[in-house]
Structure 1
């Protein structure tokens, strides 16, 4: 009887366990980063049954795919050890570039980079062409100019050899002729192999009323690409605007230009041979007051590149602003085309990226990256830069990269730069990399949407190529007080650290026109986890290693906003049961400079040098402007 009772008890317990396993739910496993981004659609009932069971679609783990041009970027090269120093991270990037869940524009960025890389190698292999004494090869100039009369039917072109940078400007002096129709100023990219015509980074079209005095004048701004055609046009004056949207602090349309209540129906087309016309049908009404362009009156118009967009001033007054659009950035500009009803008197482009310092630097040994002799360094700093930002990089070399911690090799600094679509820029960049030894080239074209690949590259450099206790990311327009950061780090636990200006509460931008637009497919949640603003932040070695391994094993998902991406990846690190310290420092100024700063952003080369000189003389962190 006792045996029978014991047997029944064992059978009952087994039945309970079986039912619990099949109907209540399986034992939860430890959640990986892959689980977070690729949840099963099977709900795991955890806790009270009153909680709603989430149903999420299944996503497969990314796989590797063939990408056109990738093989060309990884051909066996006959390079010396010194030449290959700028390709240390390049060699480890291939698995990231061939993932099936690649970032937007990865395929295009690789294809264009392959073309640029082959062109560069063909020139580099010919030592005659790369010689500084070769009269057939000129440095990227600081200014270019043109003097002409009436525009030809194909439009006058002002060649911009090495693209535009922040504060570059194009000044046009001319007299409008409405009888010949509207006129326009086009910023064109270089013409890619296989494309009949170049993309238009900005089309600035000026419509004059002509013989019909009831027509209202207008400025129409837009972009055009071979892939997408015309973008969304922006018209000024625009009485419907509330002027709340600003670009670099400027309104998109000058409110002083008054317009009648008559609506303008604009139909911009793209005709043959890329001579775009603007067919504007305007109802009755009176002409706008204070319109900057008047038939027969000479004007001086300056189009300049800001941080966030292009701005036009006419006769000294700001008239329009146009925010940069994705894949339409100033560094891509290769030509300025002027066409239509305009008597051109002169055109001048100045503030262009100048590379002449490479042949004029006398203290180059003092500016070269010092050798890294230690097995473990304190910090590795990766600096985001663009190919034609020669002056910015030189300003950093002459300022905060002269801190004792950097010159001693205890802190290493490297610039991370994607290839340019312009051969001359790439050649100057190659020469710069060989001269200073502080550049890491990236195997893709420098599109904004690919910045997260640079972040991963910085982590690779700081953990697999060098061995750093901390890894920092910053920008080439930021001034970093390395001495203060090192002092602050001494009081922090060196594990699970995210240190910078932390945003603890933020949400995805869902407006299509926003530079930081994120679709619900890219990020389904209503808010982001904590993240540090991009101008400068520091992560500990364990987090940097986690980021590298997670992407190489394809467990972490790409995200195109690089600073938010790091916050997302840190959240996955935390979900592995690891402790995370979010240390926010209000002295990491992400939009300028304030007294007693630790990091100051948006500093041009002159201001960077001024900040350094002020620190050396006054020993106080005072701003220059």
Structure 2
């Protein structure tokens, strides 16, 4: 994917026979980093219609690399706090009503706005009808995932539901696959504004071969800190993640150096 790319899924949640509730997963996948392991889940979008341990509807977003899950982002009904970081100006979790929470209707919201207007204190931001959980069993939905500058944005039926910031170590172009699993009847899948080529086939156009990721020559003067990093030959993805994160500081420093010590391995196939 690239900035501006989007994937749209039209589907309908369903309940399995004998299951207490339904859930499904929409995932953006990368290429396999190591033979024998599952590809990394760059974006894991998991609505659980009847909740999990909370017993309430929830949407969980996460990443998984080398079969290790990161810290999840859970949207459980309340909106993100005002002081929380935003993603391209969007909050991470939108508000929806829960069965155990108070609900408002359109008429009461309009009456409140009218009364505030009469006394000269209109509050248009509060004129909103509480939105329900965006998914329901048997109800058709249109889900769109858009890649922004700072993260992924998820819209359902034209309404923003959640935004998920890019995690360190992943490149936007790494998302090359789409996976749909769970209790879902799929109507259609479409994608738009995808890049014309992938780094694996046109490496000179992408950051993997860029000069900014190459280490500087060894300095002629003594250094204060030398960092040696042991790595296997087939752990290229891990080395790129290091180059794109904390190793940037060593390249900009004049008194520290970092180098990889790569061990050659043989695999039996």
Same fold (TM over 0.5): yes
Structure that is richer in helix per residue: 1
Task: Indicate whether 1:242 and 2:75 are aligned.
Answer: no
Offset, 1:556: 6.8
Question: What are the equivalent positions in structure 2 for 1:382-531 lying under 5 Å apart?
Answer: 388=198, 420=199, 422=200, 424-426=201-203, 429=204, 441-442=209-210, 453-454=213-214
Question: What are the equivalent positions in structure 2 for 1:75-94 lying under 5 Å apart?
Answer: none
What stretches of structure 1 of length at least 5 have no aligned partner?
Answer: 1-163, 263-287, 356-387, 389-419, 434-438, 444-450, 458-547, 573-625
Moved over 6 A (4+): none
Task: Indicate whether 1:185 and 2:185 are aligned.
Answer: no
Say which SS state the counterpart of residue 311 (structure 1) adopts: strand
Counterpart in the other structure of 1:208: 49
How far apart, CA to CA, are the structure 2 residues paired with 1:291 and 1:332? 31
Say which SS state the counterpart of residue 36 (structure 2) adopts: coil
Query: 1:259–1:289: 8 Å Cα contact kept in structure 2?
Result: no
Offset, 1:344: 0.5
Say which SS state the counterpart of residue 190 (structure 1) adopts: coil
Query: 1:172–1:347: 8 Å Cα contact kept in structure 2?
Result: yes
Counterpart in the other structure of 1:233: 72
Counterpart in the other structure of 1:310: 152
User: Which of 304, 315, 328 is the equivalent residue of 2:170?
Assistant: 328
Counterpart in the other structure of 1:167: 4
Query: Relative to structure 1, is the Cα distance of residues 177 and 555 closer, same or farther in structure 2, using a 3 angstrom cutoff?
Result: same
How far apart, CA to CA, are the structure 1 residues paired with 2:250 and 2:82? 29
Query: 1:178–1:208: 8 Å Cα contact kept in structure 2?
Result: no
Query: Relative to structure 1, is the Cα distance of residues 309 and 556 closer, same or farther in structure 2, using a 3 angstrom cutoff?
Result: farther
Query: Relative to structure 1, is the Cα distance of residues 193 and 347 closer, same or farther in structure 2, using a 3 angstrom cutoff?
Result: same
How far apart, CA to CA, are the structure 2 residues paired with 1:324 and 1:563? 20
Say which SS state the counterpart of residue 349 (structure 1) adopts: strand
How far apart, CA to CA, are the structure 2 residues paired with 1:343 and 1:240? 29
Counterpart in the other structure of 1:258: 97
User: Which of 550, 560, 584 is the equivalent residue of 2:246?
Assistant: 560
- Whichever of the two has the greater Rg, that structure is 1
What stretches of structure 2 of length at least 5 have no aligned partner?
Answer: 102-129, 228-244, 256-269
Offset, 1:334: 2.4
Q: Cα RMSD over matched residues?
A: 3.5
How far apart, CA to CA, are the structure 1 residues paired with 2:61 and 2:249? 31
Question: What are the equivalent positions in structure 2 for 1:96-115 lying under 5 Å apart?
Answer: none
Offset, 1:553: 5.2
Say which SS state the counterpart of residue 331 (structure 1) adopts: helix
Query: Relative to structure 1, is the Cα distance of residues 225 and 290 closer, same or farther in structure 2, using a 3 angstrom cutoff?
Result: same
Query: 2:10–2:187: 8 Å Cα contact kept in structure 1?
Result: yes
Query: 1:237–1:254: 8 Å Cα contact kept in structure 2?
Result: no
Q: TM-score if structure 2 supplies the norm length?
A: 0.63
Query: 2:98–2:132: 8 Å Cα contact kept in structure 1?
Result: no
Aligned residue pairs, count: 203
Say which SS state the counterpart of residue 209 (structure 2) adopts: strand
Say which SS state the counterpart of residue 25 (structure 2) adopts: strand
Query: 1:178–1:209: 8 Å Cα contact kept in structure 2?
Result: no
How far apart, CA to CA, are the structure 2 residues paired with 1:331 and 1:207? 28
Query: Relative to structure 1, is the Cα distance of residues 195 and 254 closer, same or farther in structure 2, using a 3 angstrom cutoff?
Result: same
Say which SS state the counterpart of residue 173 (structure 2) adopts: helix
Q: TM-score if structure 1 supplies the norm length?
A: 0.29
